[in-house]
Structures are given as structure tokens and as C-alpha cells.
């Protein structure tokens, strides 16, 4: 609810390289409701390029309302640890004022938002996000949350929606999370272990899930002639690290044997990489990938950082994985 964008820092550091994020921050000294914040979102979004919106917590209803009137270049919506109807009784939000937010103990706030996942670094990050926000602004946002109801708007949206929920969320009740799930074939729902500050506590699994969802949207985009986008645009995001891809050299995958977050892979394509040790280029063959991901259990989004020769040397020194 801080609206500063500071809390996105951990996620931004691990997002797939094919994503080019823009963080939309809200004024920290002016009390604004959802209707007042809507133009800020409109001004920040592209007018011609395709894009996807990610909304966390307080911003969920705002993103849903924006999506209702957005142009065709809005391709998808990611709702992370959020809601479309107030997660707390309206009478409680009506009691919120600047004094309440000045006096609320920080340890209580951390307990609600972080729970057992609290660390010194996360405490510092949360404090830095809240510090510049006027308590009156937080109170105004609590009031607007108490009155919000965008459930019918969400149901009308034609774009794919990805709901990323936290299993140990102490702020958003399960019934409110359940309201976000629609019976649409293109929609996705993932629940990861973690607190309300899921993006901050576990940024890498969240980034993987987000990358897979955006990649699935790219896979469906067709140009005016009906031709699919180039192979590189249709593959999972780990291929974005490749210097080249050989689509003639492939192996059919067995998804049940893979270690993945949201989406398994059906094919492996040989990809050319650069070794971080010797700086030489090397091929990570399709068959090598099958061994890596299905026999050795490597995470599906991982790729080797060294060539075979350097990996062997490092392994002999006890400094490398297989």
C-alpha cells in the first residue's frame, strides 16, 4: 500500500532478461483513491507496444479497472497477493486515520506482512518503502480499499489473467483469493509458500512464474499474416540467454521428469552459450539438456555457465556441479 515501488527491488533483479519492466509509483504525500490513481497508470503505460501489467496487493483493483478500458496492446494481467473486493471489513477501514498509521507498531506490521520470513534485510526494505509515505495517504488508501468491488469487472476481462497467491498470506483471506480465479482456459493460478510480501521474500520463483506466463502470451501472438513469431520469441525465457538456437537439433522432453514452477517444457533445442570462465562459445545440446533437466534434476530455467572443458576443470577442483 506504500505505492513507492521500492518493494519491487528484489524482483527486478531476477526478472527474465526479455522483460523490460517499468515501475509505476504513486504520490506519497497526496491522498488519492483508486479513481484518482487511474490516470497515473494510463500515463505510464505504452500506447503502441504490447505489454503486461503486474499488480501487487493494494494495486490489484486498480489494475483490473484499468484493464477494462485499456487498448488492445494490453496482453495480460498478473494479480499478485491481491484482491478485487476489500480483504477486511469495511467498518475497520473506516476507522483508519493518520494517527492509527503513525501509532501502529512496526513489529505488528512486519508480522502481518512477513510473518516467519522476516529478515534484517527485508525489515530494512519495508521500512525504506514506508518512510516517505505520509500516514494520511495510507489512511486514504485504506478507506478506498474498504469500498472497492471490481469482481464483475474482472469477470468481464477478455485478456489472460495470472493469479499469483501466497500460501501463508495473513492479510488477504482465502475467500478473496478464490474470487480471482476465473474459469478461462488462458488463465493461470499459482500458489507459492510464503507471506503477503511474496515477491520480496521469494523473488526468483515469482520471477520464473511471471516469465513463463509472459512467454505463453508471446507464444500466442501472431502477426497480421498469421505467421508465428520467430522461434526465439516462442521459447521459454531461458533461451533468451542463447547466442544462437538450432531448431533442427531438438529432443522431445518428458515434462513429468522436470523440475519447474508453472510450466514444463515439451522440447529441448540446442543453444549456443558463452562460457564465463574462458569466454569461448559452446553448444548446450538438446540431449545435454534432457540429461540436465530430467536425470540430474536441474531447475528448468537454469543453463550452464561454463563450457564442458571448464566445468570439468572446476569439478576436479571441487568448485562445480556436474
Report d(CA 22, CA 56) in Å as an integer: 14
All cell numbers assigned to 85? 473486493
Residue 89, exposed/middle/buried by CB under 10 A (0-12, 13-18, 19+)?
Answer: exposed
Per-residue pLDDT of the chain (322 residues; tens, 9 = 90+): 678 889 999 999 988 777 889 999 998 889 888 999 999 999 999 888 889 999 999 999 999 999 999 988 999 999 999 999 988 877 676 677 677 677 777 888 889 899 999 999 999 999 999 889 888 888 888 888 888 999 999 999 999 999 999 999 999 999 999 999 887 877 889 999 999 999 999 998 898 888 888 877 876 664 434 444 444 455 677 887 888 888 777 787 787 788 876 667 877 888 999 999 999 999 999 899 999 999 999 988 889 999 989 988 888 887 655 5
pLDDT in the model for residue 231: 47
All cell numbers assigned to 18? 526479455
Task: Report helix, strand and coil shares of the chain as percent, to nearest 5.
Answer: 45, 15, 40
Q: DSSP label at 219?
A: H
Answer for the pair 116, 70: CB distance below 8 angstroms, yes or no.
no
All cell numbers assigned to 285? 545440446
pLDDT in the model for residue 166: 94
Domains and CATH numbers, the chain: 6-220 (3.40.50.1820), 241-316 (no CATH)
pLDDT in the model for residue 38: 94
All cell numbers assigned to 281? 562459445
pLDDT in the model for residue 98: 72
Concatenate the DSSP letters of all residues of 188-200 into one string. EEEEESS-S-HHH
Report d(CA 265, CA 139) in Å as an integer: 46
What pTM was computed for the model?
0.70
Strands 51-56 and 74-80: parallel
pLDDT in the model for residue 173: 92
Q: DSSP label at 259?
A: B
Report d(CA 288, CA 55) in Å as an integer: 38
Report d(CA 24, CA 40) in Å as an integer: 8
pLDDT in the model for residue 257: 86
Report d(CA 138, CA 1) in Å as an integer: 7
Report d(CA 298, CA 258) in Å as an integer: 8
pLDDT in the model for residue 179: 92
Amino acid at each position: 500500500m506504500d505505492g513507492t515501488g521500492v518493494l519491487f527491488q528484489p524482483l527486478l533483479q531476477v526478472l527474465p532478461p526479455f522483460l523490460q519492466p517499468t515501475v509505476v509509483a504513486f504520490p506519497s504525500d497526496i491522498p488519492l483513491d483508486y479513481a484518482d490513481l487511474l490516470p497515473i497508470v494510463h500515463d505510464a503505460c505504452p500506447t503502441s507496444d504490447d505489454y503486461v501489467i503486474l499488480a501487487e496487493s493494494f494495486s490489484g483493483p486498480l489494475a483490473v479497472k484499468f484493464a477494462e478500458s485499456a487498448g488492445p496492446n494490453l496482453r495480460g494481467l498478473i494479480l499478485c497477493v491481491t484482491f478485487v473486493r476489500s480483504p477486511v471489513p469495511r467498518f475497520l477501514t473506516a476507522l483508519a486515520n493518520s494517527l492509527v498509521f503513525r501509532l501502529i507498531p512496526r513489529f505488528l506490521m512486519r508480522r502481518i506482512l512477513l510473518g516467519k520470513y522476516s529478515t534484517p534485510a527485508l525489515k530494512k526494505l519495508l521500512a525504506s518503502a514506508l518512510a516517505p509515505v505520509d500516514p494520511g495517504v495510507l489512511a486514504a488508501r485504506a478507506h478506498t480499499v474498504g469500498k472497492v468491488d471490481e469482481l464483475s469487472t474482472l469477470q468481464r476481462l477478455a485478456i489472460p489473467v495470472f493469479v499469483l497467491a501466497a500460501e501463508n498470506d495473513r492479510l488477504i483471506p482465502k475467500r478473496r483469493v478464490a474470487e480471482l480465479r476465473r474459469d478461462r482456459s488462458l488463465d493461470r493460478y499459482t500458489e507459492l509458500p510464503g507471506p503477503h510480501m511474496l515477491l520480496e521474500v521469494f523473488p526468483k520463483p515469482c520471477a520464473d512464474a511471471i516469465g513463463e506466463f509472459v512467454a505463453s502470451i508471446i507464444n500466442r501472438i501472431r502477426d497480421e499474416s498469421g505467421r508465428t513469431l520467430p522461434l526465439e520469441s516462442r521459447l521459454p525465457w531461458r533461451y533468451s540467454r542463447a547466442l544462437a538456437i538450432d531448431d533442427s537439433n531438438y529432443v522431445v522432453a518428458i515434462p513429468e521428469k522436470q523440475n519447474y514452477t508453472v510450466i514444463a517444457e515439451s522440447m529441448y533445442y540446442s543453444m549456443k552459450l558463452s562460457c564465463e570462465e574462458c569466454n569461448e562459445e559452446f553448444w548446450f545440446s538438446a540431449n545435454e539438456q534432457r540429461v540436465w533437466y530430467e536425470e540430474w534434476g536441474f531447475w528448468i530455467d537454469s543453463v550452464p555457465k561454463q563450457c564442458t572443458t571448464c566445468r570439468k576443470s572446476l569439478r576436479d577442483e571441487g568448485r562445480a556441479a556436474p
